[in-house]
Structure 1
Amino acid sequence: MDVLVFKTDLTQQHLPLLTHTLAPLGGLLRWSVDWEDCDRVLRVESNDLPSQVVIRELEQLKISCEELT
């Protein structure tokens, strides 16, 4: 299992879009957002889901997304 962590500019209004976008991604196990963190950290648990796929999908929704290492 891989854990991917991203800095985002997500808002509560993005949740329906985010759920709809992430659900069909192959290998996705679960995801969560830390709403109390100023970086709105998105944590994705997956089996072989490349971080570039998550970044691309969020950027298509006009959501800023940067992988944290």
Structure 2
Amino acid sequence: MEVLVFKTNIRRRRNVESIVKHISKLGGIIRWNVDLHDKDKILRIESDNLSPRHVENTLQHVGYYCEELQD
């Protein structure tokens, strides 16, 4: 299992709700959340074998900024 961490522009609960169907289409996700209280609106994904680029492309395709943060 790996944890992927992304900086996003997801600002509100309704934005999180709007990405649920897109995130759930990505294979290998065990758990995910968005920290709306963090200044970088962090998206954390626990997964098995999920490409960070695939996550970035998926969210960017639906209009959100998404950039993987390195350790």
CA RMSD of aligned residues (A): 0.9
Q: Percent identity?
A: 39
Residue 15 of structure 1 deviates from its aligned partner by 1.8
TM-score relative to the length of structure 1: 0.93
Where do 5+ consecutive residues of structure 1 fail to align?
none
Where do 5+ consecutive residues of structure 2 fail to align?
none
Residue 4 of structure 1 deviates from its aligned partner by 0.2
* Matched residue SS, 2:18: helix
Deviation string, structure 1 residues 1-24 (Cα, Å, up to 9, x no partner) = 010000000022212221110112
User: For the residues of structure 1 that align with 2:66 and 2:54, how far apart are their CA atoms?
Assistant: 11
Residue 37 of structure 1 deviates from its aligned partner by 0.5
